[in-house]
Structures are given as structure tokens and as C-alpha cells.
Amino acid sequence: MFGYNGVDGRGRKVVRNKVLDYTGEYTLACTNGDVRLGETSVWVRPYDSFYTQSQVDKKMDELAARANAAGIYAKIEQIGTSSAGYPMRAIFISASSSDLSNSQALSKRAESEPAKVQSEIKTEASSTKCR
């Protein structure tokens, strides 16, 4: 479907990165001249299991709410922005808010003083426990 020069004349490099342009819901219609004989809605997805970013975001929100309702701490944060300017979101799950804060602080320290953090973890001097 998206071979050399693609279905719309764009070069392979561009089409390879733009295959999702064709993802979505379309109306498939059958006509005879000017008479529309019938139509139906069709979802086009390039993969068997594919979700749009808006579907992933919605599911992420649902999962965080479900976890929090079950007594599991879940928090969604924007961790960056894509090259196209879209927010990049992640879900963080922990036993409690403080466990998550401690884990994130430990990760930050590990970037600046990795040997010290590794030593603390080995000797269990660290107050953060990975679960």
C-alpha cells in the first residue's frame, strides 16, 4: 500500500513517517452514476492493534482513575513535547505519593552521583525502595 512513492506521490521517506495520515474513520460509499446506493463507516488502521494518541490519552486517564479508586497511587504528568509540538504524557504508579516522590528524587540524584546512589542501594542506606 505504501511502497515507493506511496499512494499519493510522496517519497518513501515521507510516507514511511506519515502512514498514520491514513488512520481514522472513513465513509465507504457505493454509487451508480449520481445515485448513492449505500454507505457504511469503516475504520482504517495500519496495524491489528493500533490506537490513536487521543485514544491512548483517554485510556491513560481511565486507568489512573481506576488505580486511584482502588487505593493505588497513579499520577499522569507531561514529560515532554514531541517534535511536532504535542504533549508527551506518562503515567506513574506507586504505592503512595511519597514513594513516587522518593523514587523520582533518587532517579534525579542517580544522574548526578551514580556511584553514591548505587552504593546506597547496595547497602540499603537509601530510604527509597523499588517495588
**pLDDT tens, position by position, 5-46:** 455 555 555 555 566 677 788 999 999 999 999 999 998 877
Q: Which residues, other chains included, contact 88 with Cβ-Cβ below 8 Å and sequence gap of 6+?
A: 78, 79, 80, 81, 82
pLDDT tens-digit map of 83-95: 878 899 999 999 9
Alpha carbon 66 to its chain's center: 18
pTM exceeding the 0.75 threshold for the entire prediction: no
